[in-house]
A and B are shown apart, each in its own frame.
Chain A
Amino acid sequence: MISDPATSLTSAVLAPGADDDQLLHVSLGPQHPSTHGVFRMNVVLDGETVVRLKPVFGYLHRNHEKIAEGTSYLASMPYTDRLDYICPLSNNWAYAQAVEKLAGIEVPERAEFIRVILGELTRLINHSAFAGFILGDMGAWGSALMYAFREREKILDIFEELTGARMMANFMRFGGCRNDLPEGWSAKVSRLVDDYGPFLDEMEKFLVGNEILLSRTLNVGSLPREVLINGGITGPMLRAAGVPYDIRKVDPYGIYERFDFRIPLGATGDCYDRIMIRFLEMRESLKILRQALDHLPDGPIIHPKAKIRNFIEGPKGELGFHLISDGTTRPYRYRIRPPSFINLTLIEDMCLGLDLADVVIILGSIDIVLGEVDR
């Protein structure tokens, strides 16, 4: 279909013959309930059809990277919570691992297990909230999100008991974790894992055959696989199009190679696949959590006593920290590879020729968080 996957579709966008002053320019956002934060798109419409779409970033930019370069390595840990604020513990984990690789620090086995448990719980939070948000984008305002947030709240309670904070956990440390599990904590997680399957069944029952969901998402926003890979799209977005690329399998970090789980794949990569893939991933996360809880070893939670880049499979895609050390206590270069930001690269290509209403669904299916897009 496209000979060179990098070729931008945008050059062929403007409908030939369409008179420029017949086109309608719409500024969508930044204050708009469907833009998931302060995100703006300049959309050009021919009637109802999108002929050009340019995202505008930066409303939440505070130059996190510059701030991190002016402070010690550990002092940036709480700041990573605020990148993708739906999933602070994934950010903690990616940053801790990057510094551990940089300095050659070992992590004890128990800490690795705790990290896996927290990482997968975070994935449950993200994907559940995603399902609630995208239904809101389709007009089912409130109900779906209420059920999703009810479950999220249970996990946040678990996080609060362990870290002292519902969201801004600041929990991982270089070489391990900040504190050990409180009495009875893993039993609570175990109960939650048991109860989560029925919740997913219920949520899926509401969604899978829903006529509105089907008509709004089937065959909306798909692109060829090669274009997605070339555009740097990662995470559930990429796997929904059938590309088997998940860092937990491709380059297993931590102790992921010990767990038995599968990578769900979609067929067409349309918005429907992107929703369903997240449900399937949550079921795999439950499998990982069950195994991790059953085999949680005893032992220490933190290790007793120059340029590197490290990736983890965050809930939204490939989350990476690229650190360059010059031997001082501050990072010389601290770069975040933000999955939400890079997953937006192809949003225009996905939306061209579709209706404005589809833009909202496609943006929702990309699953962005502006704390991370703008940094």
Chain B
Amino acid sequence: MSVATVTLHERLRAALPNAGISLRTNPGPSGQHSLLVDAADLPDVCRFLRDTPDLTFDFLSNVSGVDWPDPAKADAVAAPAAGEGSAPPTGGFLEVIYHLYSTRRRIGPLVLRARTIDRATRVQIPSVVAVFRSAEFQEREIFDLYGVEFTGHPDLRRILMWDEFVDHPMRKDYVAPDDYEYEPTPHAAVLEKAQRHYVQP
């Protein structure tokens, strides 16, 4: 059963007046609306959704990372609702999308979004592992493949790529190395070509 995201938005705004929460509508046939939450308020919002007796969103099913080098595209996919301004950032950002369900009330998904400030250094989003343990490996995966830093994560390490890898392959501007594989004992010519694409640490 789907969630009445609009009603829930009103409810959250009343309950957490200081949290930045805005409604985003989905223009496609699916009509799966979402709530854009200020990164700093995300753990509080999650805790409220989980612990409020008549909401009981106890199950964080999925965490997706998305790279938006062009912020206009992000607004086209998740349009700001009437009366709510679009996000001002100019240089693009990374986004993390959370799909929440209630196993007790059997409804979902409630879609939450949180955004980083930019794609370079201000890429921090508070971890929700303390609220939903299921985020532990998924946040590690987004850290690994997108480079979002989840502050407060108990064990933030690369998970799918190897520890020595330096870039974030799921970013839209990622350039794959020419050799397509890491060579610990490199053939000089192949590695020299590949080195051009590795970001030097």
A residues with CB within 8 A of B: 4-8, 10-11, 57-58, 61, 63, 65-66, 101-104, 226-227, 229-234, 243, 245, 250-251, 306-309, 311, 318, 320, 322, 324-326, 332-333, 335, 337, 341-342, 344-346, 374-375
Contacts and interface: CB of A to CB of B under 8 A. Distances in A.
B137 A326 contact: no
Nearest to A103: B29
B131 interface: yes
Contacts of A307: 26, 28, 30, 32, 77-78
Interface stretch (B10-18, B54-62, B80-88, B116-124): B54-62
A231 B133 contact: yes
Interface of B: 1, 26-30, 32, 58-62, 64-66, 73, 76-78, 97, 99, 103, 106, 108-109, 111, 129-138, 145, 154, 159-162, 169-170, 174
B152 to A, nearest CB: 12
How would you classify the secondary structure of chain B's contact residues: helix, strand, loop or mixed?
A: loop
B178 to A, nearest CB: 16
Nearest to A341: B137
Contact of A57 (B58, B109, B159): B159
B169 A57 contact: no
Nearest to A335: B64
Contact of A306 (B77, B131, B162): B77
Contact of B73 (A65, A229, A326, A375): A326
A346 B159 CA distance: 15
Contacts of A103: 29
Given A250-B106, A307-B30, 17 more contacts: A6-B131, A6-B133, A102-B30, A103-B29, A231-B134, A232-B59, A232-B60, A232-B134, A234-B61, A243-B103, A251-B1, A251-B106, A311-B61, A325-B28, A333-B66, A337-B62, A375-B160
19 contacts: A6-B131, A11-B154, A102-B30, A103-B29, A104-B29, A226-B58, A232-B60, A232-B134, A232-B135, A233-B134, A243-B103, A306-B28, A311-B61, A318-B61, A326-B77, A337-B61, A337-B62, A342-B134, A345-B137
